[in-house]
């Protein structure tokens, strides 16, 4: 009987190591170019010379990042640990952040149309990375039973779900709401009910939600005056159109869109991204509950890497001036969150 062979773990590890080495070298190259750009300014070189150097370097590094993403997707991810995959994704995210800083440092001498084009290209890379994460990070196989689907459909009529369509065209993927259209409720989502599953909390007001588990993703949409306490998330956290809310979460990637007056307590292994948002306060993650350490292990989250205060604001590209849209929360204002 003939047995189909699979790529050896050692071969896959070798390819991953080679790819990681190339990514590290490319990130160092971007940082070198940033320093060269600053040196050009110090030497008094013309804006035309600086612009020419920027355009060539930016396009070269953008293509290199695209190649990194294609290389990661081509690796047989089934033979790689979740931690290694997430570390590779975090490294690519850092390169995108570095490229964004390169653009920010160059805004002063770039023509407006070139600056706008560069900004759009950085955003496109960030979106591609989010899509790549969804494809390559292993997902736990599960399906809602027909009975569960029937019950959920009976409780939530189709007209209630219609407002989600417009929101899904921006950030939110097509995820069936876990909690929807609640006011003044306190809800605890326990381990098995949401472990390694996608969670969508939408159209909530004056609610406190505790997620004592390790979900696959967390999506928040249309929350007002809510507090969300969550264990480690396997992949991404996406937040849109939320106001006067507090989120305490650990994750690999976080993106905040069209939100205001937000307090975020974060452990995030890649740089958080905000866009069209303001009055955002950032603090380190400090939620403590009984099974936290077990859930960290199950999520594959790197607990030794936290970039909670390295926020990228895609609407503020002046790298030499701090963004007015977010700031570090004073230690005296931080609350301690317990189960």
Which of 136, 151, 180 is at the close of a domain? 136
**Predicted pLDDT of residue 28:** 66
Q: Do 101 and 229 reside in the same domain of the chain? A: no
pLDDT digits (tens, 9 = 90+) for 220-274: 999 999 999 999 999 899 999 999 999 999 999 999 999 999 999 999 988 899 9
How far is it, in rounded angstroms, from Cα 281 to Cα 264? 6
pLDDT digits (tens, 9 = 90+) for 33-59: 666 666 665 566 666 776 777 888 888
Read off the pLDDT band of 165 (50, 70, 90). Answer: very low
**Predicted pLDDT of residue 20:** 62
Q: Do 201 and 311 reside in the same domain of the chain? A: yes
**Predicted pLDDT of residue 201:** 95
**Predicted pLDDT of residue 145:** 36
Q: In three state form, how does the secondary structure of the chain look?
A: CCCCCCCCHHHHHHHHHHHHHHHHHHHHHHHHHHHHHHHHHHCCCCHHHHHHHHHHHHHHHHHHHHHHHHHHHHCCHHHCCHHHHHHHHHHHHHHHHHHHHHHHHHHHHCCHHHHHHHHHHHHHHHHHHHHHHHHHCCCCCCCCCHHHHHHHHHHCCHHHHCHHHHHHCCCCCCCCCCEEEEECCEEEECHHHHCCCEEEEEEEECCEEEECCCCCEEEEECCECCEEEEEECCCEEEEECCEEEEEEEEECEEEEECCEEEEEEEEECCCCEEECCEEEEEEECCEECCCHHHHHHHHCCCCCCCCCCCCEECCCCCCCCCCCCEEECCHHHCCCEEC
Q: Do 71 and 177 reside in the same domain of the chain? A: no
Q: Do 52 and 98 reside in the same domain of the chain? A: yes
- Give the pLDDT mean for 123-150: 64
**Predicted pLDDT of residue 281:** 97
Asked whether residue 7 carries a pLDDT value surpassing 60, the answer given is no
Domain that includes residue 191, residue range: 165-338
Whether residue 219 lies inside any domain: the answer is yes
Whether residue 159 lies inside any domain: the answer is no
| Number of domains, the chain | 2
Asked whether residue 4 carries a pLDDT value surpassing 60, the answer given is no
**Predicted pLDDT of residue 89:** 81
Asked whether residue 17 carries a pLDDT value surpassing 80, the answer given is no
Whether residue 323 lies inside any domain: the answer is yes
Q: What is the mean pLDDT of the chain?
A: 78
């Amino acid at each position: 009987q003939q047995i189909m062979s699979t790529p050896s773990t050692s071969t896959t590890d070798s390819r991953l190591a080679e790819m990681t080495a190339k990514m590290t070298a490319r990130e160092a190259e971007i940082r070198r170019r940033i320093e060269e750009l600053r040196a050009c300014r110090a030497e008094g070189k013309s804006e035309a010379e600086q612009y020419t150097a920027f355009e060539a370097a930016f396009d070269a590094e953008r293509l290199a990042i695209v190649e990194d993403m294609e290389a990661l997707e081509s690796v047989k991810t089934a033979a790689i640990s979740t931690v290694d995959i997430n570390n590779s994704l975090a490294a690519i995210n850092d390169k995108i952040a570095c490229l964004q800083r390169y653009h920010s440092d160059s805004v002063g001498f770039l023509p407006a149309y070139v600056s706008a084009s560069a900004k759009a290209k950085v955003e496109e890379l960030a979106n591609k990375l989010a899509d790549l994460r969804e494809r390559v990070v292993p997902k736990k196989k599960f399906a809602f039973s027909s009975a569960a689907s029937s019950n959920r459909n009976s409780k939530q009529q189709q007209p209630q779900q219609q407002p989600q369509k417009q929101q899904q065209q921006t950030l939110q993927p097509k995820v069936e709401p876990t909690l929807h259209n609640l006011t003044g409720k306190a809800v605890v989502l326990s381990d098995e009910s949401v472990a390694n599953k996608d969670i969508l909390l939408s159209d909530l007001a004056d609610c406190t939600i505790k997620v004592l588990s390790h979900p696959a993703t967390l999506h928040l949409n249309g929350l007002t005056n809510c507090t969300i306490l969550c264990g480690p998330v396997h992949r991404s956290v996406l937040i849109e159109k939320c106001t006067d809310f507090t989120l305490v979460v650990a994750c690999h990637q976080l993106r905040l869109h069209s939100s205001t007056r937000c307090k975020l307590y974060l452990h995030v292994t890649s740089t958080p991204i905000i866009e069209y948002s303001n009055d955002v306060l950032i603090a380190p993650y400090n939620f403590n509950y009984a099974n936290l350490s077990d859930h960290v292990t199950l999520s594959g989250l790197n607990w030794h890497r936290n970039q909670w205060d390295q926020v990228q604001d895609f609407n503020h590209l002046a790298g030499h001036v701090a963004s007015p849209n977010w700031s570090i929360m004073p230690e005296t204002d931080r609350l301690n969150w317990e189960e």
